Amino acid sequence: MNDIDQFLYLRIAKTFENQIVKEVIRLGDKLPSLRSICKQYDVSQSTAMQAYYYLESKFLIESKPKSGYYVSYSSKHYASIPEISKPGDFEGDQEDMENLIDKVYRQITNSKTTILSLSVPAPELLPIAKLNKAMVNALRSLPASGTAYEHIQGNVKLRRQIARLSHPIELSLTEDDLIITDGCMNAISYAMMAIAKPGDTIIVESPVYFGILQLAKILNLKVLELPTHPQTGIELEAFKRAVETKKISLCLLVSNFSNPLGSCMPNEHKKEMVNLIQKHNVPLIEDDIYGDVYFGLNRPKTCKTYDESGLVLWCNSISKTLAPGYRVGWIAPGKFKDQILKLKKCHSISSPTLSQEVIGSFLETGRYEHHLRKLRSTLQANSINFLNAVHESFPEDVKINRPEGGFVLWVELDKKINTVDLYEKAIKRNISIAPGSMFTLQKQFSNCMRLSYGMKWDATVAQSLKTLGMISKGLMGE
């Protein structure tokens, strides 16, 4: 299939996908015949069939012999979504949280364990052979085979390609606006160190990725967790009250498909958020590491898209999409560029030369966009499989988020169930989950957990989810 045909079938498929997800066409509705698709879109029958095969692969439609294609997906088929979080003033035991994180992550290299606790793509979903080829080419082409220091700001080719890829989301960046870092968390840590000093208060979502909480603790920062909606992200009214009534030094948001909640701020919320931070002169660190893993028609924009003051520090990496171990990330630091460069010079001088060249070349050839299309398709199919499995196997009152991108499901169980107990029972059966209490500094989310669907869907994963459901039902009866 040539590039034009591929574009046409994806355009057709994505149009139907959007209508199915938004329930313009609903569960049980019949789709147009292949002949109608050919006539409507002026395409060949093979292109029309490829569009429907794509939708079938995502479990959005099903074929009925001698009848046609029918919608097989409906969000209303699943359990309700979790409620808006309500963080209070009751601090949890931070030592317990740290011990739990250590316990969960000691299992991530155990080959016998089904790892549902790690929000990264499995190696089977990555273009490893192509990356290896790019590595060989980098060794041949770089001066001294890549053993020399790279420019402190980062590989020029890589920065230029990142700037190019940012244009569709209306980020008017050049290579000079970007600094390469050793992953996204490295970018975030530089940003936090550049802006906040010990004792300052920062705003985060609730729940929030535990790495951010650990970093704040190391930097001796106070954390203010704010109510967060499982679909639309941090509550803007709560944010507005906080910046108006408290002394806030910065805020840190995972604006697109947050970890662990999976929420995605609507573009209008992002625009309003930027207006608020500009009004109150509060810098925003935007972690956009999941932004490229969207399931809809278009990549969601960023808060940085609407930034005219330089107060938004946009952080990203290829750790969730291409090569976690390469540790290639970046930051567009706005008005804080000089401070970030000083910190990088002190901490690392430069980032690894070889991995930057490999990723820069991979992006330059267009292979990244091709890989992302396949990855997004696989992950969306996985998310639907996980939703079906949880709906069928877990207690009836389970609540699940509806991810429109990213890697994770946030699952809320009955208050009687403590997911630390669930973890202890599950790990004995070689299944690892991430209990909800890992993602907060307060006494909350003890009945919640994060599940990652970033792996190849197979019988082992399906059975692991059934086992988790059985254990959950058993805990309800204890």
Q: Which amino acid is at 394?
A: F
Residue written as tokens 């939703």?
387
Q: How many CB atoms lie within 10 A of CB 73?
A: 21
**Last residue in a domain, options 324, 345, 368:** 368
In terms of domains, do 172 and 232 share one? yes
In terms of domains, do 363 and 378 share one? no
Q: What is the reported pLDDT for 458?
A: 94
- Residue 73, helix vs strand vs coil: coil
* Proportion of the chain above pLDDT 90, given as a percent: 69
Q: What is the reported pLDDT for 80?
A: 81
Q: How far is CA 184 from CA 126, 202, 247, 327, 477, in A?
A: 19, 18, 27, 8, 42
Q: How far is CA 43 from CA 54, 67, 68, 174, in A?
A: 16, 22, 19, 38
> Is residue 449 over pLDDT 80?
yes
- Would you place residue 98 in the very low, low, confident or very high pLDDT band (cuts 50, 70, 90)? confident
Give the closest residue to 455 by CA, choosing from 409, 423, 417, 414. 409
Q: Does residue 84 contact residue 230 with C-beta atoms inside 8 Å?
A: yes
> Is residue 101 over pLDDT 50?
yes
Q: What would the pLDDT profile of 159-200 be if each residue is shown by its tens digit?
A: 999 999 999 899 989 999 999 999 999 999 999 999 999 999
Q: Does residue 31 contact residue 25 with C-beta atoms inside 8 Å?
A: yes
More confident residue, 435 or 51: 435
How far is residue 277's CA from residue 50's CA, in Å, rounded to a whole number?
Answer: 46
In terms of domains, do 263 and 314 share one? yes
The pTM assigned to this predicted structure is 0.86
> Is residue 45 over pLDDT 60?
yes
How far is residue 279's CA from residue 404's CA, in Å, rounded to a whole number?
Answer: 31
In terms of domains, do 152 and 209 share one? yes
**Last residue in a domain, options 368, 384, 407:** 368
Q: What is the reported pLDDT for 92?
A: 64
Q: What is the reported pLDDT for 78?
A: 60
In terms of domains, do 102 and 14 share one? no
> Is residue 3 over pLDDT 60?
no
Q: Which amino acid is at 466?
A: K
In terms of domains, do 66 and 83 share one? no
Q: What is the reported pLDDT for 89?
A: 66
Strands 179-181, 329-332: parallel, antiparallel or unpaired by DSSP? antiparallel
Q: What would the pLDDT profile of 345-400 be if each residue is shown by its tens digit?
A: 999 888 999 999 999 999 999 899 999 989 998 998 898 889 889 988 999 889 99
Q: What would the pLDDT profile of 4-39 be if each residue is shown by its tens digit?
A: 555 788 889 889 888 887 788 888 889 999 999 999
In terms of domains, do 364 and 416 share one? no
Into how many domains does the chain fold? 3
> Is residue 76 over pLDDT 60?
no
In terms of domains, do 362 and 442 share one? no
> Residue 115, Cα to own-chain centre: how many angstroms?
17
Q: What would the pLDDT profile of 315-349 be if each residue is shown by its tens digit?
A: 999 999 999 999 999 999 999 999 999 999 999 88
Q: Residue 351 belongs to a domain with what CATH number? A: 3.40.640.10
Whether a cis peptide bond, with omega within 30° of 0, leads into 260 is: yes
In terms of domains, do 284 and 215 share one? yes
Q: What is the reported pLDDT for 93?
A: 66
How far is residue 119's CA from residue 445's CA, in Å, rounded to a whole number?
Answer: 18
In terms of domains, do 56 and 199 share one? no
Give the closest residue to 287 by CA, choosing from 316, 329, 249, 328. 316
1 half-sphere exposure, CB direction, 13 A CA radius: 17
Q: What is the reported pLDDT for 96?
A: 80
DSSP secondary structure of 162-199: HHHHHGGGT----GGG-EEESSHHHHHHHHHHHH--TT
Q: Tell me the residue range of the domain where 429 lies.
A: 78-125+370-477
Q: Does residue 323 contact residue 126 with C-beta atoms inside 8 Å?
A: yes
Give the helix/strand (H/E) hosting 79: none
Q: What is the reported pLDDT for 1?
A: 47
Residue written as tokens 């290579």?
175
* Proportion of the chain above pLDDT 70, given as a percent: 96
Q: Residue 47 belongs to a domain with what CATH number? A: 1.10.10.10
Q: Does residue 132 contact residue 326 with C-beta atoms inside 8 Å?
A: no
DSSP secondary structure of 16-50: HHHHHHTTSS-TTPBPPPHHHHHHHHT--HHHHHH
> Is residue 130 over pLDDT 60?
yes
> Is residue 461 over pLDDT 90?
yes
Sequence-distant (6+) residues with CB within 8 A of 231 are 81, 263, 264, 401, 402
Q: Residue 428 belongs to a domain with what CATH number? A: 3.90.1150.10
φ, ψ at 349 (rounded to 5°): 65, -60
**Last residue in a domain, options 305, 335, 368:** 368
Q: What would the pLDDT profile of 410-422 be if each residue is shown by its tens digit?
A: 999 999 999 999 9
In terms of domains, do 211 and 339 share one? yes
SS (H, E, C) 377-445: HHHHHHHHHHHHHHHHHCCCCCEECCCCECCEEEEECCCCCCHHHHHHHHHCCCEECEEHHHHCCECCC
Q: What would the pLDDT profile of 205-247 be if each residue is shown by its tens digit?
A: 999 999 999 999 999 999 999 999 999 999 999 999 999 999 9
In terms of domains, do 66 and 82 share one? no
How far is residue 71's CA from residue 131's CA, in Å, rounded to a whole number?
Answer: 37
Q: How far is CA 162 from CA 190, 225, 256, 263, 298, in A?
A: 19, 31, 18, 24, 18
Q: What would the pLDDT profile of 276-310 be if each residue is shown by its tens digit?
A: 999 999 999 999 999 999 987 789 999 999 999 99
Q: What is the reported pLDDT for 300?
A: 94
φ, ψ at 20 (rounded to 5°): -70, -45
How far is residue 27's CA from residue 144's CA, in Å, rounded to a whole number?
Answer: 60
